[in-house]
Amino acid sequence: MCVMCRNNHNSSDNVADYHHSRRRILIAASLLSIAGLMGTSSTVKAQNTPPKPDNVLTPDEAIKRLLAGNERYVKATTLQVNVSETRGVLSKGQNPYACILSCADSRISPELCFDEERGDLFVARVAGNFVNTDILASFEYAIAVLNAPLILVLGHTSCGAIDAAIKAYTQNTAFPGHIQALTTSLAPAVKIASQQVKGHELLAATTVENVRLNVTKLTESNPIISERIKQGKLKVVGGIYDLTTGVVKLV
């Protein structure tokens, strides 16, 4: 037992104060660490050419590039990728121009549907494309350290995770293993959509609402993401990928 704890073990108030102070110290240290990473990243960027100079974009330029890549994908006029060309430079670092929160569905591949290659997109995937702590932390790293200017929450048509969430919410369907926890995470979107539409339209409406809810969650996330947005260095947008056409439409 430490000296402070031994001297104050008979006082619950003092112990509580000690633990409260310790938490505040840990939080402060974490924030200072993040600030240090951001400062270091800015310094390195100023002194050295980034691995992929074409990826240094404004948020609006990043959106335009994503949509242009998707148009090439839809028209089957995708660019030829030279796998070995960027391998060496990417071994020394990365500067992706967009973060993508995608569903884990095997029919969705952000790199393919936006006609991009390694080092261009910072992709996090989970069934139902919703924000959890791990994904939020991953994107904070991409924003604070890698200076990515854009986050796209990408839903898709005929999403199995969304369909399961609808059945859990409207029919009290129970799913095995940890699937039930996933449907619970998607339930807020089902609740909103079910107040607007019914029947076969509910799947599409829930998919859109889920994207909107997670765009809002990211936009309001403190301190890193919200601060970058205020500075005009970052945008968070949402989109839906159509499995039939391959077209991504912003929502």
**Residue ranges in the chain whose pLDDT is less than 70:** 1-47
Start-to-end C-alpha separation, the chain: 56
76, HSE (Cβ side, Cα atoms, 13 Å): 1
Those residues whose C-beta lies under 8 Å from the C-beta of residue 131, and which sit 6 or more positions away, are 101, 214, 217, 218
Amino acid 36: pLDDT? 55
Domain locations along the chain: 1-48, 52-250
Amino acid 59: pLDDT? 98
Amino acid 30: pLDDT? 53
In order, the DSSP letters of 149-199 are -EEEEEEETT-HHHHHHHHHHHH----STTHHHHHHHHHHHHHHHHTT--G
CA distance 42 to 171: 51
CATH of 52-250, one of 3.40.50.2300, 3.40.1190.20, 2.40.128.110, 3.40.1050.10: 3.40.1050.10
> DSSP assignment, residue 10?
T
Q: What is the pLDDT of residues 54-70, one digit of tens each?
A: 999 999 999 999 999 99
Amino acid 34: pLDDT? 55
Q: Are 15 and 1 in contact (CB under 8 A)?
A: no
Those residues whose C-beta lies under 8 Å from the C-beta of residue 180, and which sit 6 or more positions away, are 168, 174
CA distance 250 to 33: 35
SS3 237: strand
Q: What is the pLDDT of residues 76-115, one digit of tens each?
A: 999 988 888 888 899 999 999 999 999 999 999 999 999 9
Q: Which two tokens stand for residue 124?
A: 């996090």
Q: Are 173 and 167 in contact (CB under 8 A)?
A: yes
pTM of the complete model: 0.82
Those residues whose C-beta lies under 8 Å from the C-beta of residue 30, and which sit 6 or more positions away, are none
Amino acid 44: pLDDT? 38
Kindly calculate the radius of gyration of the chain based on its CA atoms and give it in whole angstroms.
22
**Burial of 6 per CB tally in 10 Å (0-12, 13-18, 19+):** exposed
Q: Which two tokens stand for residue 167?
A: 């059945």
CA distance 57 to 121: 13
Amino acid 12: pLDDT? 42
